[in-house]
Structure 1
């Protein structure tokens, strides 16, 4: 009798175990991002035209979106298996540490401080802090020309403050709520320049309503090495690096640059070599 009771309990445990396995541990999502799962979760920006943006019809577009989609495909996922997650700048490390996403491609500059918390594949783009000016403005050709100019900053941005503090201390720094407001101010001549990464500026300038109105000054005020963030210790880093190398070699990287930044005449740097961080 005792043997029968143990057998029945063991059978029940086995059934429960098989049921849990069939359910995929709860939500059926991949927990490693290595292919074969139902979904891969990728963090991107939702509000940066040309980089990562959620469009009016609910789709996603931009250079980071193209890069992330290519990488996901190389990892074994189709486009409809991608679950996009909004990765705001302040939330990126936390999202990776908690496992909310498998990787993040969101104008994510590789820095020593961030590298202590997460791992980075790449870099896949070398951007620079620059300024966007009106297309007919020839008065800003070097950093010091920003002195006595009205420089637009987005609330919470460090880019404009960097110019104010170290590059052009006499610049008149004005804070706006968002990049769109800065662009309106630039178009209406309320401000003379908008500063952030040149890739982000090119994305805005490439929008249909702004084409031909603005240009990048090409000042290269800093080096921003965009990487793909993964959880510290994740084996995805090497797999993503392999995918990025293939994207460059087969020409897909150049096509993505042209598609997203071309209308702004963005003079991008060549595709960086994996692991080559430009200080």
Structure 2
């Protein structure tokens, strides 16, 4: 659902246009629809990634991404009661933003040049690193080079395995599943040899079942998690970046990271990320 707007000076000017017949463009010159004017918003998050965005079974969604989204919304003037969360998969994030089904996406959404042609990104709000998760008993895989000739699962709409094959020139058997939770199930059943994606995602799954899996903990790329916004909404992007800066400076980001990943051996980053820019 597209966000509801507050009554702003621009709205008042439009009312005056209706009454007095003034040219609309002169009354609201420079004013464009933006998420910063929202009274409520719908946010797309993952629902199957422990520690990041997970359906809690009682109709709610919890995790680091959810906490970050609520913090940003509050800084934009939208209280938690007026934020609606809805599940999105990796493959449908752009589609739901473009269609207006969601107003913002906070869903382990890596910023890439291709995606930036369709989406305006705030942030990143965290810079994760791609790593590898294997079964606990598999001690042969110590780094990404050890995946040569092995089967690696990636979630639909993700580029994780492609970064290994095309980015690093390592020949792996790429398998795609509807989601990373499905990849983890395949790994558990022995249908694939490894799951490779962002270390925050892997750490969340590992925390749920530490006896079944082993975190290789040998990262090889940077994954910049962006806040997906409607294309061209520069005002919202700038406001989101300001909120992210405050989240790190006031210690909230560190608190969120410790809450969701403190019991894993993941080395989290607690400094303000370098922003991509809004134009």
TM range (shorter): 0.7 to 0.9
In structure 2, the residue matched to 1:25 is: none
> Alpha-carbon deviation of 1:127?
1.2
In structure 2, the residue matched to 1:262 is: 262
> Alpha-carbon deviation of 1:242?
1.2
Aligned with 1:275: secondary structure? coil
Q: 1:196 to 1:273 in 2, by over 3 A?
A: closer
Deviation digits for residues 128-170 of structure 1, max 9, x if unmatched?
2211123454322222212244433445653224434554745
In structure 1, the residue matched to 2:212 is: 213
In structure 1, the residue matched to 2:239 is: 239
Give matches, 1:172-191, under 5 Å: 172-174=173-175, 176=177, 178-191=179-192
Give matches, 1:59-78, under 5 Å: 59-78=60-79
CA distance in 1 between partners of 2:226 and 2:128 (Å)? 11
Structure 2: gaps of 5 or more residues: 1-15, 20-32
> Alpha-carbon deviation of 1:113?
1.5
Aligned with 2:233: secondary structure? coil
In structure 1, the residue matched to 2:5 is: none
CA distance in 2 between partners of 1:83 and 1:133 (Å)? 35
Larger Rg: 1
Q: Which moved more, 1:122-131 or 1:84-93?
A: 84-93
In structure 2, the residue matched to 1:101 is: 102
Deviation digits for residues 189-236 of structure 1, max 9, x if unmatched?
5543211221111121122xx034323212323221011111213411
> Alpha-carbon deviation of 1:105?
0.8
In structure 2, the residue matched to 1:145 is: 146
Q: Is the 8 A contact 2:97 2:104 kept in 1?
A: yes
Aligned with 1:226: secondary structure? strand
CA distance in 2 between partners of 1:233 and 1:47 (Å)? 29
- CA RMSD in angstroms, aligned pairs only: 3.0
CA distance in 2 between partners of 1:275 and 1:120 (Å)? 10
> Alpha-carbon deviation of 1:79?
1.6
Q: Is the 8 A contact 2:134 2:195 kept in 1?
A: yes
> Alpha-carbon deviation of 1:59?
0.8
In structure 2, the residue matched to 1:163 is: 164
CA distance in 2 between partners of 1:276 and 1:155 (Å)? 25
In structure 1, the residue matched to 2:7 is: none
In structure 2, the residue matched to 1:33 is: 35
Q: Is the 8 A contact 2:248 2:272 kept in 1?
A: no
In structure 2, the residue matched to 1:116 is: 117
Structure 1: gaps of 5 or more residues: 1-13, 18-30
Q: Is the 8 A contact 1:125 1:271 kept in 2?
A: no
How many residues in Structure 1 have an aligned counterpart in Structure 2? 248
CA distance in 2 between partners of 1:59 and 1:129 (Å)? 28
Q: Which moved more, 1:51-60 or 1:146-155?
A: 146-155
CA distance in 1 between partners of 2:158 and 2:95 (Å)? 20
CA distance in 2 between partners of 1:175 and 1:100 (Å)? 26
Q: Is the 8 A contact 1:202 1:261 kept in 2?
A: yes
Q: Is the 8 A contact 1:143 1:168 kept in 2?
A: no
Deviation digits for residues 98-128 of structure 1, max 9, x if unmatched?
3333321111111112212221111111112
CA distance in 1 between partners of 2:148 and 2:255 (Å)? 37
CA distance in 2 between partners of 1:118 and 1:183 (Å)? 29
Q: Is the 8 A contact 1:110 1:225 kept in 2?
A: yes
